[in-house]
Structure 1
Amino acid sequence: MKMLAVAAAAALVFTGTAHAEPAKVAHTSAKFESYSATAKAVTYDAKVPAGAKVTVVGVLTVRGGTTVLLVLKGLQPHRAYGAHVHVKKCGAAPADSGPHFQNVVDPVQPSVDPAYANPRNEIWLDVHTDGNGFAHTQSTVDWQFTERHAQSVVLHNEHTHTKPGEAGTAGPRLACVNVDF
């Protein structure tokens, strides 16, 4: 319930004011579980325990951008995780969610060129959990999803790297949550 309140409040804050035009809101709240065709949030590794909770809210801003909020509860305490918006839905295998969503798509995939794999062209949501396994973060970019909609947020094993040749990488995919951006 607390996570839903945070998500609802975030949606109002991120759209600017209560008098602004209605914004498209993407929202998913779920518990991580083993893969099934109906699972909203999938864990592939014990570093994201089954039963841990996730909320993702994506809102179009009044200035023409997008803000994504990620809230996690029940993960391992005092641990860094990388997280990014991905192009496909979660699947039985970690790689099923495809590459990171990029506003300007790198013609070379997988993308590790900092000109494309960066937090202005992708949505990066790296977090560090507190002593109770709770974490939250947000990312705002100056673009919106168009006909190419992203479909998930993937949690990775470590914070996102930025050096050439490894930009955008964050280790193995630990979990995935479906979001209709």
Structure 2
Amino acid sequence: MRNRIAALLVTLTAATAVTTVALPASAAEYGITAVVTTFQSDHRFGDAVTYDPDLVPVGSLVGVATVTEEEGMVTELKVRGLVPDREYGAHVHVNPCGATGDDAGPHYQHVRDPKQPSTDPAYANPENEIWLDFTTDAQGAGEARSEVAWSFGDRRPASVVIHEHRTSTAEGKAGTAGARLACVDVSF
């Protein structure tokens, strides 16, 4: 599984002048979903929107890919053109992107916390959610990987949100990562 997703993202993120790239419908039968696109200033004009262009500039690139197999899922996120040498948080969210970051709803949780928004570390953790925190390099590129021992099933998320800072694991703050800076729709 690791080799398939690595090869997929290398291929998808090789193009830097991409508007939107998605896999053919037949990829889903192999448990693969992916999108590569650029952040826009308005969610109506593409698959990715920035809510804070100072931290996630318009035109910066994002790629998300997931491979699902019997033993679970691997999800990878790659970005280019963000602020250099900066930490960001990122998570899979339940709803598609919208006019504001709040439109993406809460984090997708394999086992849902009955109390939302979830800050209980028993639910808000990288084994029950898909956390994709990353640090950009000197050129503003970054990447993250999540491996979980479950798959989405009938209940599917719809987006990945990039947050202001790394995700907290502290009691009462677990899963929080600050403001929602940008969002990309993904057909998981």
TM-score, normalised by the number of residues in structure 1: 0.87
Give the aligned partner of residue 16 of structure 2. Answer: none
Give the aligned partner of residue 22 of structure 2. Answer: none
What is the aligned counterpart of 1:7 among 6, 9, 19?
9
Q: Is residue 178 of structure 2 the alignment partner of residue 171 of structure 1?
A: yes
Q: May I ask how many residue pairs the two structures share in their alignment?
A: 166
| 2:38/2:58 contact within 8 Å kept | yes
User: For 2:103, what is the secondary structure of its paired residue?
Assistant: helix
Give the aligned partner of residue 159 of structure 2. Answer: 152
What is the aligned counterpart of 1:100 among 104, 107, 112?
107
How far apart, in 2, do the equivalents of 1:106 and 1:62 lie?
A: 25
Give the aligned partner of residue 88 of structure 2. Answer: 81
User: For 2:182, what is the secondary structure of its paired residue?
Assistant: strand
Q: How many angstroms does 1:94 deviate by?
A: 0.9
Give the aligned partner of residue 61 of structure 1. Answer: 69
Q: Is residue 43 of structure 2 the alignment partner of residue 50 of structure 1?
A: no
Give the aligned partner of residue 123 of structure 1. Answer: 130
Q: How many angstroms does 1:62 deviate by?
A: 4.1
Question: CA 1:59 to 1:153, structure 2 compared with 1: closer, same or farther past 3 Å?
Answer: same
User: For 1:37, what is the secondary structure of its paired residue?
Assistant: helix
> What amino acid does structure 2 have at the position aligned with 1:52?
S
| 2:43/2:97 contact within 8 Å kept | no
Q: Is residue 78 of structure 2 the alignment partner of residue 71 of structure 1?
A: yes
How far apart, in 2, do the equivalents of 1:68 and 1:5 lie?
A: 13
User: For 1:102, what is the secondary structure of its paired residue?
Assistant: coil
Aligned sequence identity (%)? 49
User: For 2:30, what is the secondary structure of its paired residue?
Assistant: coil
How far apart, in 2, do the equivalents of 1:147 and 1:72 lie?
A: 28
Q: State the Cα deviation string for residues 83-122 of structure 1 (Å, max 9, x = none).
A: 0000000000110000000000000000000000000000
Q: Is residue 163 of structure 2 the alignment partner of residue 161 of structure 1?
A: no
What is the aligned counterpart of 2:32 among 25, 39, 42?
25
Q: How many angstroms does 1:34 deviate by?
A: 1.1
Gaps of 5+ in 2: 1-5, 13-28
Q: Is residue 121 of structure 2 the alignment partner of residue 114 of structure 1?
A: yes
> What amino acid does structure 2 have at the position aligned with 1:101?
Y
Give the aligned partner of residue 17 of structure 2. Answer: none
How far apart, in 2, do the equivalents of 1:6 and 1:66 lie?
A: 14
Gaps of 5+ in 1: 11-21
> What amino acid does structure 1 have at the position aligned with 2:157?
A
How far apart, in 1, do the equivalents of 2:44 and 2:81 lie?
A: 23
Tell me which stretches of 4 or more aligned residues in structure 1 moved more than 6 Å. none
> What amino acid does structure 1 have at the position aligned with 2:138?
G
